Amino acid sequence: MKTELVIDLEAEKQEILKRYRALLRASKSTLQKGDKKEIRKAFDMALESHKDMRRKSGEPYIYHPIAVAQIAAEEIGLGTTSIVCALLHDVVEDTDITLEDIEREFGKKTAKIIDGLTKISGVFDTNSSLQAENFRKMLLTLADDVRVILIKLADRLHNMRTMDFMPRHKQLKIASETIYLYAPLAHRLGLYAIKSELEDLSMKYLDPDTYKFIAKKLNEKKAERALFIKKFVEPIDEIVHEQGLVADVYGRPKSIHSIWNKMKKKNIPFEEVYDLFAIRIILDSAPENEKADCWKAYSIVTDLYRPNPDRLRDWVSSPKGNGYESLHTTVMGPRGQWVEVQIRTQRMNEIAEKGFAAHWKYKESSNDNGLDQWIQKVREMLSNPEANALDFLDDFKMNLFSDEIFIFTPKGALIQLPLGATALDFAFEIHTDVGATCIGAKVNHKLVPISYKLQNGDQVEIITSSKQTPKEDWLNVVVTAKAKAKIKSSLKEEKRKIAENGKEILERKLKSLKITYNTDNLQKLSYFFKLPSTQELFVNVALGKIELKDIKEYLSSEKEVENRGPERPENLSVDGIKSKIKGGESDILLIGEDMQRIDYTLAACCNPIPGDDVFGFITVSEGIKIHRTNCPNAAQLMANYGYRVVKAKWNKQQELTFLTGLRIVGIDDVGLINNITRVISTDFKVNMRSITVDTNEGIFDGSIMIFVNDTEHLENLIKNLLKVRGVTGVTRFDA
């Protein structure tokens, strides 16, 4: 037995060396003199400090840091410092090595990055409650050195690739954070390849059935697609080379997640998603010919295939905020289907795939500072001390995902804003004071209100008045995080002044009623008037919403009011809820680590039914709510309140019915409704709660709310409804 283990260790040693050599090969292009020695030193230190540690899969722990360094070098294109930091990213946290040791061995810069990585590695541990606050800390490190975030992304990507051995609840939590935060972050840093893979891997765990279904469908038609691409590409290839352009033309499959998004957005089945792939034309051009060559290639493609005039996207003339440059067009292919064609140069392609890191490489030749501006914006957002972390996170996410529009100032300067931005956003973008005093704007010399939504290319002049101050409803007008933060802090200041005033009035009123002015009584008053804080109480008094007669009413009811403040979410736990519950109709679902029967309610946002993959969420006032893992709100709940998520699974003992919705579309035909209701009521003996039908010029569109037992029951019903003559589609929808 002993000898076998030795052989095993020997094989592992060989494997570690093999992986280390692969890492050196991946970093070859960036290596300077003496770099190899630094990487070797970091590798030795990591190997030594992790030597007795293993991953959940049983593999030596060192495989993980090597893999993260490999991703940083190969897929993001980072240099030696980052490779060293990636190799050592876990040592300070998991072993006896200190930051001082690292600074002594590798210098200040490396120590600073590893400090940043150590600070944020605790961010998403399982017990961490304030995810949003921690995420904010993580972004603060971005203000110091963006490499911290890039290595963190590499770390997360490797964890996602190797998550099979984790327990299910951890998989769900990590996948939720990934889709909620890391994928948008990769997108904003221009790392499209990594963003797509993170989205796909998250989907694999959060919605495994749909993921497997699309993967299977893609696989079935693989050969057919390859043939179509070959035929489509051949004539382009030929003419491109005739015209003297050096280009690589190929087809690239779309990610599973983006196909699923399209199916959801357009409410269509897989068979109707035409753009399962995009054709790429990557040109090898000298910097000065890039633009001309891209348009040359565009003209070749559109001579061969008819373009859709509404689908031309030109990010070559105006790159996106994350540096993305490309020319996209959609053309009609030989078989009567639309095909997306993306045209760009090798430099643009590297920036598209590797984002930030590639930017530094081309920085000297490029005058584009979109990324610097973006980091500047993040810094501004982070430096706003008032912001509630969750609001901040939502604003930040919104800015991560937004597409840009370009707006001109009266003097012709270009300002970038997210899609959907208003005149008021533009005002705040120019200066906080301009925003705070904005009363309207002139767009292309026409007077418009502050809520006017700007279009790409508008020229905007802001009109201000010294009498204007920010209003509460402005928050519904603006979309940029900067404007929201400034309006919120201005309103807070205003509220504070009103509250000061209200405090004095309340003090006088309480005195006249002989009530002691103390914290306890203020808490009781706030609770009586159902207000969230004493500040709100003061504001209501100042605005005259709470008068002397209301306080007298409080006095008379005080004898009956229990003195209990609103429950804090921190006190919530499954055990806490168990102790309050007497049991009841809760046999159908098992909840918590020990799978107990506890009372729960089903979330209205996703209407789970038995058979759905579900989790429990402990709410502040309504006990445990059950959500589907692919519920629209699931990722946010699991990413921000991981500590309040509990396991839940269906128990097979009871036949209960659950409400769910079906949307049925088809060709309106005599007796169609009759046939549909017959299948539902007679064949399947399912009760209907409501049916709404809309027929428009021969097209039937109906929504039916029905009671089913479980997912299997529902799937069989959908199958049979699709057999009804005239029905073209049946989809489940969330209420």
Query: pLDDT, tens digit, for every residue of 1-36?
Result: 444 444 477 888 889 899 989 888 888 877 778 888
Euclidean distance between CA atoms 729 and 490, whole angstroms: 51
Euclidean distance between CA atoms 353 and 75, whole angstroms: 8
Q: Quickly state the pLDDT bin for 638 (edges 50, 70, 90).
A: confident
CATH fold for domain 2-206? Hypothetical protein af1432 (1.10.3210)
Reported as a single tens digit per residue, the pLDDT across 537-581 is 888 888 888 887 777 777 776 644 444 444 444 445 555 544 444
| Listed residue (77, 75, 353, 369) closest to 190, CA to CA | 353
Spot the catalytic one: 94, 237, 353, 380.
Answer: 94
Beta strand pairing call for 699-708 and 688-696: antiparallel
Q: Which DSSP string corresponds to 425-443?
A: HHHHHH-HHHHHTEEEEEE
The CATH homologous superfamily for domain 658-733 is ACT domain (3.30.70.260)
Contacts of 730 (CB under 8 A, 6+ apart): 662, 663, 664, 665, 718, 721, 722
Contacts of 546 (CB under 8 A, 6+ apart): 529, 537, 540
**93 an active-site residue?**
yes
Most confident of 197-211, 257-271, 362-376, 620-634: 197-211
Lowest mean pLDDT among 124-138, 675-689, 708-722: 124-138
- Residue-level pLDDT at 561: 42
Please give the share of the chain, as a percent, with pLDDT higher than 90: 19
What mean pLDDT do residues 390-402 have? 58
- Residue-level pLDDT at 5: 45
What mean pLDDT, rounded, does the chain reach?
80
CATH fold for domain 215-365? Beta Polymerase; domain 2 (3.30.460)
- Residue-level pLDDT at 567: 42
Stated length of the chain: 735
Euclidean distance between CA atoms 654 and 710, whole angstroms: 11
- Cβ–Cβ contacts within 10 Å for residue 319, how many? 19
Spot the catalytic one: 8, 10, 93, 248.
Answer: 93
Reported as a single tens digit per residue, the pLDDT across 416-459 is 888 889 999 999 999 989 999 999 999 988 899 999 999 887 88
Instruction: State yes or no: pLDDT of 342 exceeds 80.
Output: yes
What mean pLDDT do residues 195-202 have? 94
Contacts of 558 (CB under 8 A, 6+ apart): 524, 528
3-state class (DSSP) for residue 239: helix
**Which comes out higher in pLDDT, residue 304 or 691?**
304
Domain parsing of the chain, residue ranges: 2-206, 215-365, 489-557, 569-650, 658-733
Does the pTM surpass 0.75? The reply is no
Euclidean distance between CA atoms 380 and 675, whole angstroms: 61
- Residue-level pLDDT at 68: 94
**325 an active-site residue?**
no
Residue pair 506/538 in contact (Cβ under 8 Å)? The answer is: yes
Q: Quickly state the pLDDT bin for 187 (edges 50, 70, 90).
A: confident
Instruction: State yes or no: pLDDT of 390 exceeds 60.
Output: no
Instruction: State yes or no: pLDDT of 623 exceeds 80.
Output: no
